[in-house]
Amino acid sequence: SAVISQKPSRDICQRGTSLTIQCQVDSQVTMMFWYRQQPGQSLTLIATANQGSEATYESGFVIDKFPISRPNLTFSTLTVSNMSPEDSSIYLCSVERPGQGARNGELFFGEGSRLTVL
Amino acid sequence: RKEVEQDPGPFNVPEGATVAFNCTYSNSASQSFFWYRQDCRKEPKLLMSVYSSGNEDGRFTAQLNRASQYISLLIRDSKLSDSATYLCVVNPGSFQKLVFGTGTRLLVSP
């Protein structure tokens, strides 16, 4: 298994400010994934953070709004920039289950960061 | 049509009951399937992968029907602790991203 520590666990922010969420994994992983889960919605992939290269963003998400860092194989940050109330959501860091035989889709998630933008 | 569809519920069942959820998917080329469990205000956790031949893990049975493009989750002898939201997750393959359903909420009452 993988242990993922995510912080902050929650925050209340003012419109127009930015917040950086940190994700620490207890083992080295190639890819780290950032998801968003808005109230009553399914999880949506924001981007894949790759160590040593630019993050890969999904349709509808851009680097200027959600800059990502991946300085090493155990750590990543996601920044939510110039926040608006529509950014209120849970943001989740995720990694694939390690080991041979693990299927693509078997993920471990951090506990999430619950963001409220006023 | 949504890529992955689930009945949001809630399914209200008494302890000891058997309950089943279905999840339909639109991409017939999808390669792998999963059920995740998400407790209130918690992160999703993998409950079980769904294999073509169907698989069982204790009180939980997952099945795949490729012809009709749905997967199912059966929970026998429901416990209070089974109360959660169950997310259906589909891997469309070809290096596409996972697709999550919105979840089915289960409430098990005494």
How is residue A9 annotated by DSSP? S
Average pLDDT over residues A96-116: 83
Give the pLDDT band (50/70/90) at residue A11. Answer: very high
Q: Do B49 and A105 touch (CB under 8 A)?
A: yes
Nearest residue, CB atoms, B91 vs list A58, A104, A109: A104
pLDDT at position A100 is: 59
Percent of chain A predicted with pLDDT > 70 = 96
Measured CA distances, A79 to A20, A23, A33, A56, B41 (Å): 4, 11, 13, 15, 21
Average pLDDT over residues A86-91: 96
Residue holding tokens 């090493």? Answer: A72
Average pLDDT, chain A: 92
- On whether any CB of chain A is under 8 Å from the CB of B96, the answer is no
Per-residue pLDDT for B94 more than 80?
no
Give the pLDDT band (50/70/90) at residue A41. Answer: confident
Per-residue pLDDT for B31 more than 90?
no
- On whether any CB of chain A is under 8 Å from the CB of B101, the answer is yes
Provide the chain A residues 48-77 that lie in CB contact (below 8 A) with chain B.
Answer: 58
